[in-house]
Amino acid sequence: MKDATLVSRALAGGQRAKAAEEELYRRYRPAVSRLACSFSELDADEAEDVVQEAFVRAFRALASLKDRERFAAWLFTIARNRARSYLTSRSTHIKAAEDASRQSQLLEDHVPAASHVLEKEAELRAVREVIDGLREGPEKETVRLFYLEGTLSAREIAMRMGVGKSAVTMRLERFRAKVKAQLFERLTG
């Protein structure tokens, strides 16, 4: 069956749509996986995340595909863009972690040490305030599940939210950087 026919069925809705999406996934998953793995900077989990995210994005945006015969090329473009975004996000994440580490070191060097209990209380208050200040969305839900419920691992949160584990890890790292920055600001300001 041609891609254009499968795309049309996927757009039509119903049980045939699900079967059409499954066939497109079965047909192109190996090639999309090879494409993701060609980005040597991605580890195996990250490459798998790219594959899953590419298909999710493609199926959500299927109505925007103008030439249904070109589904494969369109899907590969989405996968390439997801891989590049992953690498860009990772470098941004690494820079934020380095900045947070430098700020933390400055804090340790310039602020007299408070009692351990007071530090923990201040951190907990800051964490809750930062969580309260987040916009509703995936980042806030991830942080809430990890820190406030506290019983789920990053992988379990990823499975619950339908995203890759590395996406959850990046969200948590961004959140930690926000908390550190806020603590630094409070203690030095």
Every domain range in the chain assigned CATH 1.10.1740.10 = 3-85
Q: What is the largest CA-CA distance in the chain?
A: 71
Please name the amino acid found at residue 41.
E
Residues of the chain with CATH 1.10.10.10: 111-188
Report how far residue 166's alpha carbon sits from residue 21's, in angstroms, rounded to the nearest whole number: 25
pLDDT at residue 117, as a whole number: 62
Q: Tell me what pLDDT residue 101 has.
A: 67
Domain 3-85 = CATH 1.10.10.10:
no
The confidence score (pLDDT) of residue 31 equals: 94
How confident is the model at residue 141, as a pLDDT?
83
Per-residue model confidence (pLDDT) at position 159: 84
Q: Which residues contact 31 (CB under 8 A, 6 or more apart)?
A: 72, 76
d(CA 3, CA 62): 12
Q: Which helix (H) or strand (E) holds 121?
A: helix 116-133
Q: What confidence score (pLDDT) does residue 156 get?
A: 83
For the chain, which ranges sit under pLDDT 50? 114
Quote the CA–CA distance of 189 and 185 in Å, as a whole number.
Answer: 5
Which fold is adopted by the domain 111-188? Arc Repressor Mutant, subunit A (1.10.10)
CA 9 from centroid of its chain's CA atoms: 30
